[in-house]
Amino acid sequence: MIRHFLTSALLAGFLAGLAITGLQQATTAPLILQAEQFEKAASAPASGTPQGHDHAAHDPAQAAVHAHDADGGGWAPADGLERLFFTTLANVVAAIGFAFVLVACLALWNGRASGQTGILWGLAGFAVFTLAPSLGLAPELPAMNAAGLVARQIWWIAAAAATAAGLWLLAFPRRPLAAAAGIIVMALPHIVGAPHPHELSARIPSELAAQFAAASIATSAVFWACLGWLAGTFYGRRPAVAAADGRLSPAE
């Protein structure tokens, strides 16, 4: 069973990482390249170092390598095949990590794993890791002002953890009091509020930023549905076959 668990997560994460990289090339990658042109144009005349920016846009589908250094001393992958390779590598590694989480949830769940149940768990992952954090911190392009990295990371983790806990309270105890507590828990990070910069200015068109945020969230939804379906399909296949042969019961 341990081998089956590992194989299911590795295969699901690898395939989902490859699939989402291909989708990114048609959705978010061109927008990032456009924003980088605005960033270079805005920082070229300046002698100082512009504010750094975090490009991990709330979900593994945006885990591409975007290393920017105004001094020119930092390493960044070259455009073209090198950048595509490191983007793919980052996406696959992140997808495998999330696949282990999904397969673990499927293993602990009392129901029988399948592609359909995997999609449901995948959509829950989308709500936890993308949708809820994006309500406070939308996916951001290069050259956009942002609050401090540590503050944003703390709020993002709190929002994801609160959403996961709230969904569990809504789905499993199945009691009105637990459901009410789940809603309150999910709302707490948003009531506190996400950290934002004091000056809401950017060096890119607002239409481009809005298009990127929408494309990032939509791409992430596809990623999580794909990852959930793959995880449920791979994890549910072998136990069913083994049980039919009398070697393994479905409960094992």
Each residue's pLDDT tens digit, 76-100:
777 788 989 999 999 999 999 999 9
pLDDT of 74 reads 55
Closest CA to 167 of 182, 181, 155: 182
What percentage of residues in the chain have a pLDDT greater than 90?
57
43 lies in some domain: yes
230 lies in some domain: yes
Looking up tokens 């481009």, which residue turns up? 208
Q: Check if the beta carbon of residue 144 is closer than 8 Å to that of residue 53.
A: yes
95 lies in some domain: yes
Looking up tokens 């960033």, which residue turns up? 39
pLDDT of 89 reads 96
232 lies in some domain: yes
96 lies in some domain: yes
Q: Check if the beta carbon of residue 150 is closer than 8 Å to that of residue 181.
A: no
234 lies in some domain: yes
Distance in angstroms (rounded) separating the CA atoms of residues 16 and 29: 17
- pLDDT single digits (tens) 164-209: 999 999 988 888 999 999 999 999 999 999 998 877 666 778 889 8
Read off the pLDDT band of 54 (50, 70, 90).
very low
Domain of residue 50: give its range.
2-146+196-244
The total number of structural domains that make up the chain: 1
Residue 240 CB neighbour total at 10 angstroms: 13
> Mean of the pLDDT values across residues 138-150?
84
> Mean of the pLDDT values across residues 65-72?
41
Angle at 49 between CA 44 and CA 55, to 5 degrees: 90
